[in-house]
Copies of this chain bind each other. A is one copy, B any other.
Amino acid sequence: MVTHITEEIPRSVWYGWGDPARAKPLGPGALDFLRRTLKLKGVAGDHPPVTMADVRVGPSALDAATLNELAAITGPDHVATDATTRILHAGGKSTPDLIRRRSGDALEAPEAVVFPAGAEEVRSILALCVERNLAVVTFGGGTSVVGGVEPVRGRFNAVITLDMRRMDRLLHVDPLARTATFEAGIRGPAIEAALAPHGLTLGHFPQSHQEASLGGYLATRSAGQASTGYGRSNDLVKQVHLETPAGPFDAGSPAPGSAAGPKLLDVVVGSEGTLGVITSATLKVVPVPQAKVYGAWSFPSFEAGAEAMRKLRQDGARGDMPHVCRLSDTDETASTFKLGGAKTAALQRYLRVRGQKRPAMALFVWEGSERAGRAGKRRSARIMRAAGGISLGPLPGKSWEHGRFSGPYLRDELLTRGVYVETLETAATWGKVASTYAAVRSAILAALGEKGAAAFVQTHISHVYSDGASLYFTFLSGLEEDGLAQNARVKAAASEAIVAAGATITHHHAVGIDHAPYMEAEIGALGIQVLAGIKGVLDPHGIMNPGKLIPAPPTNPKEAP
A residues whose Cβ falls under 8 Å from a Cβ of B: 174, 176-179, 220-223, 232, 234, 238, 244, 246-251, 253-272, 284, 310, 314, 317-320, 368-369, 372, 426-432, 463, 465-470, 502-511, 515, 519, 522-524, 526-527, 529-534, 536-538, 549, 556, 558
Contacts and interface: CB of A to CB of B under 8 A. Distances in A.
25 contacts: A178-B314, A178-B466, A179-B467, A232-B257, A246-B526, A251-B527, A256-B465, A256-B468, A257-B468, A257-B508, A258-B504, A258-B507, A259-B504, A259-B507, A259-B508, A260-B515, A260-B519, A260-B523, A261-B519, A262-B267, A263-B270, A265-B266, A266-B266, A533-B537, A536-B558
Contacts of A264: 523, 527, 530-531
B522 A529 contact: no
A542 to B, nearest CB: 14
Given A257-B427, A258-B427, A264-B523, 15 more contacts: A223-B259, A249-B527, A249-B530, A251-B527, A255-B429, A256-B466, A256-B469, A257-B508, A260-B515, A260-B523, A262-B266, A262-B267, A530-B534, A533-B537, A558-B558
Contact of A529 (B246, B262, B269, B431): B246
Nearest to A232: B257
A266 to B, nearest CB: 4
A319 B465 CA distance: 16
Contacts of A558: 536, 558
A191 B522 CA distance: 29
Contact of A261 (B178, B262, B549): B549
A261 B266 contact: no
B259 A270 contact: yes
Contacts of A538: 526, 530
Contacts of A428: 255-256
B467 A511 contact: no
Contacts of A221: 258-259, 263
Contact of A318 (B254, B368, B466): B368
B319 A317 contact: yes
A67 B310 CA distance: 52
A174 B431 CA distance: 8
Nearest to A249: B526
Contacts of A426: 255
A359 to B, nearest CB: 24
Contacts of A234: 263
Contacts of A271: 261-262
Contacts of A524: 249-250
A505 to B, nearest CB: 5
A432 B255 CA distance: 9
Give the most central of A244, A523, A527, A556: most B CB within 10 Å: A523
B533 A257 contact: no
A56 to B, nearest CB: 33
A259 to B, nearest CB: 4
Contacts of A507: 255, 257-259
A552 B286 CA distance: 41
Contacts of A508: 257, 259
Contact of A534 (B246, B466, B468, B534): B534
Nearest to A253: B504
Most buried by B among A261, A266, A430: A261
Given A176-B429, A251-B527, A510 B259 contact: yes
Contacts of A262: 266-271, 531, 534
